[in-house]
Amino acid sequence: MRILIVTQYFWPESFMINDVVKSLVKQGHRVVVATGKPNYPEGKVFAGYRANGVQRELFDGQTLVVRIPTWPRKHGGAKNLILNYLVFVLAGMFCLPWALRGLKFDAILVYAPSPITQTIPAILLKWIKRAPLALWVQDLWPESLQATGFVRNPQALSAVGYMVYWIYKGCDLLLAQSKAFIQPLNEYANRSKIRYQPNSFPEQSTDALVDAPAPLLATLESKFCVVFAGNLGQVQALDCVVDAAELLNGHRDISIVLVGSGSKSEWLIQQKQERGLGNLELPGRFPMQTMPSIFNRAGALLVSLEDDPIFGLTVPSKIQAYLAAGKPVLASLNGEGAQVVLEAKAGLVSPAGDSAALAANILKIKAMTSEERAEMGSQGKSYFLEYFETESQARHLAETLSAMAKGKK
């Protein structure tokens, strides 16, 4: 198949779609990616790129990537975020038809973490290229806007709802990353166009792996470390994690290691200093090639989300990454993500926002024998291979896109 993928986020930013593209190409499909200039999560355009102009490059040596002008997220704030979203839409509508001229596609796929507005240029391309359009929904709008507090005004939320209805109507297929997404999607779109397409993660190759820095390795090897890896933002319920660290501060042999960066990074540094949390490690952000080195030395891997109904519908992508690592998982969340961990028998679950329960689970998993923890990790890995491995899920995705394309002929 000839597949166009439209996404605001792509390599060298760390998103699941990078590995999906690799797998699709490996399976013989011809893929072109239309995206912006990398600037997530730091808010600065990565070295080697510029915010203005259209740039072209090859991903993994063979996939054409077309990059359109971008307004960097900068240090956050509503103004920069809105401009970041809006510029992608406008640049996509004005630049992509010309930048992709002469190229034909059998299907268009939008990979859509927030914002859903990145689908708008793809709807235009659908008509220009006469190719059916599938939207892989990673975040529910307007629900997630309300849950994060980004939009509070009822009239504004209603307007976003109308926009979502229009966007879904412009798509031929909606792919839900969680089974719990199906019902909310059905409120804005016909059930017949909704399919379940879970997020995935590749089996980790041993090629080009990088060891973690020596100070972090020393901590990981000398203590029982609970590792959180990813975006350090508002929805990750990091206040709950910090409170749990404070409850465990007397246990000198336990550390909570938050690997990553995000809008809460400065707040975390401040909390560590003010509360005297010697057991809270903030080593910063590292390349994906470093993660296996960190995960392999962790006692358990932590995933957390805010206590809000919308987040109970989501399966965070890091759950797939944790299961793939074959390590026990500590889940401080509700709903679908917690259910996956329980079904996989891969770890312990505590309610979202309950720091005392999280601290108790950390002590409980530390008290287990190494064999018991290894068994949890093994069960999680088996579940991952059956339901979330990238090669098989990319094959399923291609079959779904092919069926959509044939149905539109």
Any domain includes 208 = no
Burial of 17: CB neighbours in 10 Å, binned 0-12, 13-18, 19+: buried
Distant-in-sequence contacts of 55-63, Cβ < 8 A, 24+ apart? 56/99, 59/10, 59/11, 59/18, 59/21, 59/33, 60/21, 60/22, 60/25, 62/25, 63/21, 63/25, 63/31, 63/32, 63/33
Predicted pLDDT at 310: 87
Domain that holds residue 379: 214-387
Residue 239 shares a structural domain with residue 346: yes
- How far apart (Å, rounded) are the C-alpha atoms in residues 33 and 92? 12
Residues of the chain with pLDDT under 50: none
Any domain includes 207 = no
Give the pairing of strands 30-35 and 2-6: parallel
Residue 248 shares a structural domain with residue 358: yes
Residue 48 shares a structural domain with residue 135: yes
Residue 16 shares a structural domain with residue 70: yes
CB 132 within 8 A of CB 172: yes
CB 116 within 8 A of CB 164: yes
Q: For residue 92, which of 74, 68, 73 has the smallest C-alpha distance?
A: 68
Handedness of CA 328, 341, 325, 259 (dihedral sign): negative
Any domain includes 327 = yes
Any domain includes 402 = yes
Residue 230 shares a structural domain with residue 176: no
Any domain includes 209 = no
Residue 6 shares a structural domain with residue 127: yes
- How far apart (Å, rounded) are the C-alpha atoms in residues 332 and 162? 33
Q: For residue 240, which of 307, 173, 301 has the smallest C-alpha distance?
A: 307
Any domain includes 373 = yes
- How far apart (Å, rounded) are the C-alpha atoms in residues 148 and 273? 26
Backbone torsions φ then ψ of 4, nearest 5 degrees = -100, 125
Q: What is the CATH number of the domain that holds 259?
A: 3.40.50.2000
Residue 118 shares a structural domain with residue 49: yes
Residue 401 shares a structural domain with residue 370: no
Predicted pLDDT at 205: 57
Any domain includes 149 = yes
Residue 109 shares a structural domain with residue 249: no
Alpha helices (runs of H) in 130-181, residue ranges in sequence order? 143-148, 154-169
Q: What are 399's two structure tokens?
A: 């079959």
Residue 180 shares a structural domain with residue 323: no
- How far apart (Å, rounded) are the C-alpha atoms in residues 194 and 174? 5
Residue 226 shares a structural domain with residue 349: yes
Into how many domains does the chain fold?
2
* pTM beyond cutoff 0.85: no
Any domain includes 30 = yes
Residue 396 shares a structural domain with residue 364: no
Give the pairing of strands 133-137 and 173-176: parallel
